[in-house]
Amino acid sequence: MTKLCTLLLISGLISGLMACTSVAPWERGVLAQPQMALDPNPLQSGLRAHNYPSREAGASTNASGGGGGCGCF
């Protein structure tokens, strides 16, 4: 049983290490496309994160500024 577990562990480590490879320079352009970004609209997300606490009176975020919860900026 321990040999089987050891064999499975070693094969898992080897298969995991085989996935580590460097990306060729001509393939990096594909990874840099906007569709591959984690956040497709970082400016819009930043603006929303900045304005959210002023619209929500009970929002406990690190952003400064206050508002009455009426949607005023």
pLDDT digits (tens, 9 = 90+) for 34-47: 787 888 788 998 88
Four-CA torsion 43, 44, 47, 53, nearest 10 degrees: -140
**Token pair of 14 as six digits:** 């080897």
pLDDT digits (tens, 9 = 90+) for 19-29: 777 888 888 88
State yes or no: pLDDT of 49 exceeds 70: yes
Q: What is the residue-averaged pLDDT of the chain?
A: 77
pLDDT of residue 22: 81
Domain ranges, residue 36 = 1-56
Domain assignment present for residue 64? The answer is no
Nearest by Cα to 62 from 73, 72, 52, 47: 52
- CA atoms lying within 13 Å on the CB side of residue 26: 0
Domain assignment present for residue 26? The answer is yes
Total domains in the chain come to 1
